[in-house]
C-alpha cells in the first residue's frame, strides 16, 4: 500500500506543470547528459548498431510508463496488413520473465511473455517475439516470413536500427513537468519527441501538433464465457474498475461516462490484484482493460469483464501517417 501511495504521489508531482522535485534537478541534469551522450555516440558511429534484414518501425515514447502505445501498434499492424505487408512485432516483454533468448509468443501466458505481447499476438495474429535484446528478437521473428517489423517500445534501444520512429504522447498528461528522471517523468528531453518521423497524440483536446488518435471502448467481454455486453448495460451499477496501465484515470472516466458507478482500482503498470478479494469486499461486476485481462485466468470469473479498445483516427490523419511511412520505406530502399 505504501508503495502504491508513493507511486501516486510521485506521478502527481511529475505531471504537475509546477511540480518538479527541485532537489532532484541536478540528478536530472546528469541523467540528461548521460542519455544525450549515449545517443550521440550511436549517431557518430562510436557505438555501432548492427544492420537488420528488414525495415523496423519503432513505436515508443519519451515518458516513463504507458502512453497508449499498444493499441497504436495493433492499429499500425492492421494498416500494414491491409496494404499487403506481413508485419512481425518485437517487444521486451515487460511483466513477463526476462530472457536473453528470443521467444515467440506461443500461448496466452502473460507471466511468461508479458501482458502486451500476449495481447498483441491475440488481436493482430502477427508473429510476436520477446527478448531483452530487441536486435535478437528482430532476427528471430524474421524467420517467420514477415516483411516488416514493428517494435512495441524501444525508442531508446539505439542498438536496434530503425527505418521510422513514431512517438506516442498521452494528450491528458503530455510531457508532464518537462523534466527528466528523477525530477520528472521523461527519459529524454521533450525536443527528442520532435526528431521522430511522426508524433501521435493519444486523446482529444491537446495543444500538441501531430497525428491525433483516440482509444474507443468496445463492448465488454466476459472472461468466463466470452459473452458480450454493451457498456450501457452497466449504467447505474457499482462496478470495480481495474486498470494497470500508464494512465488508469482515463479508463475510469470512460466507464463513468458510460454511466457506471466506478470503484477505482488503480494499479502500477503490469501489476495485478486479487479478483476474489475484490468480490469479497463487494459482490459487483469487475471491469478491466484488455491489457489487464490477459493476466487473469480461472473458472471463477463469471462477472469479470474486459473492455477492449481500438485506436481510431480521421481518415485524413491515417492517410498522412501511412504516407510518411511509405516515404521512409522508399528512402530506405533507394
Note whether 60 and 162 are same-domain residues. Answer: yes
pLDDT of amino acid 309:
95
Report the alpha-carbon distance of residue 29 to residue 27 in Å, rounded.
Answer: 5
Q: What residues in the chain have per-residue pLDDT under 70? A: 1-5, 18-21, 298-299
Q: Is residue 229 part of a domain?
A: yes
| Cell numbers for 34 | 548521460
pLDDT of amino acid 2:
44
Report the alpha-carbon distance of residue 294 to residue 306 in Å, rounded.
Answer: 9
Note whether 248 and 283 are same-domain residues. Answer: yes
Which residues have CB under 8 Å from 26's CB, separation 6+?
Answer: none
Structurally, the chain folds into a number of domains equal to 2
**Residue 157 belongs to a domain with what CATH number?**
3.40.50
pLDDT of amino acid 281:
95
pTM beyond cutoff 0.85: yes
Note whether 293 and 275 are same-domain residues. Answer: yes
| Cell numbers for 18 | 509546477
pLDDT of amino acid 10:
80
Note whether 206 and 225 are same-domain residues. Answer: no
Containing structural domain, residue 282: 219-307
Note whether 99 and 228 are same-domain residues. Answer: no
Note whether 71 and 149 are same-domain residues. Answer: yes
Note whether 28 and 176 are same-domain residues. Answer: yes
pLDDT of amino acid 3:
62
Q: Answer for the pair 115, 269: CB distance below 8 angstroms, yes or no.
A: no
pLDDT of amino acid 271:
84
| Cell numbers for 71 | 493499441
β-bridge pairing 148-152 and 87-91: parallel
Q: Is residue 3 part of a domain?
A: no
| Cα atoms in the Cβ-side hemisphere of radius 13 Å centred on 240 | 23
Note whether 184 and 275 are same-domain residues. Answer: no
Amino acid at each position: 500500500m505504501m508503495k502504491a501511495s508513493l507511486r501516486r504521489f510521485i506521478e502527481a508531482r511529475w505531471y504537475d506543470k509546477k511540480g518538479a522535485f527541485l532537489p532532484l534537478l541536478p540528478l536530472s541534469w546528469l541523467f540528461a547528459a548521460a542519455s544525450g551522450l549515449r545517443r550521440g555516440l550511436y549517431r557518430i558511429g562510436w557505438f555501432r548498431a548492427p544492420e537488420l534484414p528488414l525495415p523496423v518501425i519503432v513505436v515508443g515514447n519519451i515518458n516513463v510508463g504507458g502512453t497508449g502505445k499498444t493499441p497504436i501498434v495493433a492499429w499500425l499492424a492492421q494498416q500494414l496488413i491491409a496494404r499487403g505487408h506481413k508485419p512481425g512485432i518485437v517487444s521486451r516483454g515487460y511483466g513477463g520473465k526476462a530472457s536473453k533468448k528470443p521467444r515467440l509468443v506461443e500461448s496466452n501466458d502473460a507471466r511468461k511473455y508479458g501482458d502486451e505481447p500476449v495481447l498483441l499476438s491475440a488481436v493482430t495474429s502477427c508473429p510476436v517475439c520477446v527478448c531483452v535484446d530487441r536486435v535478437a528478437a528482430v532476427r528471430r521473428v524474421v524467420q517467420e516470413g514477415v516483411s516488416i517489423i514493428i517494435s512495441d517500445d524501444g525508442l531508446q534501444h539505439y542498438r536496434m536500427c530503425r527505418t521510422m520512429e513514431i512517438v506516442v504522447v498521452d494528450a491528458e498528461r503530455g510531457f508532464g513537468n518537462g523534466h527528466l528522471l528523477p525530477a520528472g517523468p521523461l527519459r529524454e528531453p521533450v525536443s527528442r519527441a520532435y526528431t521522430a518521423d511522426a508524433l501521435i497524440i493519444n486523446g482529444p483536446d491537446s495543444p500538441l501538433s501531430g497525428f491525433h488518435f483516440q482509444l474507443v471502448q468496445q463492448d465488454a467481454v466476459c472472461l468466463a464465457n466470452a459473452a458480450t455486453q454493451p457498456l450501457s448495460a452497466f449504467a447505474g451499477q457499482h462496478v470495480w474498475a481495474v486498470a494497470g496501465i500508464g494512465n488508469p484515470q482515463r479508463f475510469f472516466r470512460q466507464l463513468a461516462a458510460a454511466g457506471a458507478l466506478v470503484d477505482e482500482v488503480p494499479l502500477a503498470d503490469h501489476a495485478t490484484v486479487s479478483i476474489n478479494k475484490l468480490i469479497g469486499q463487494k459482490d459487483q461486476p469487475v471491469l478491466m482493460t484488455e491489457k489487464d485481462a490477459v493476466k487473469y485466468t480461472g473458472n471463477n470469473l463469471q462477472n469479470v469483464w474486459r473492455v477492449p479498445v481500438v485506436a481510431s483516427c480521421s481518415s485524413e490523419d491515417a492517410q498522412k501517417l501511412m504516407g510518411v511511412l511509405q516515404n521512409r520505406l522508399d528512402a530506405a530502399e533507394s
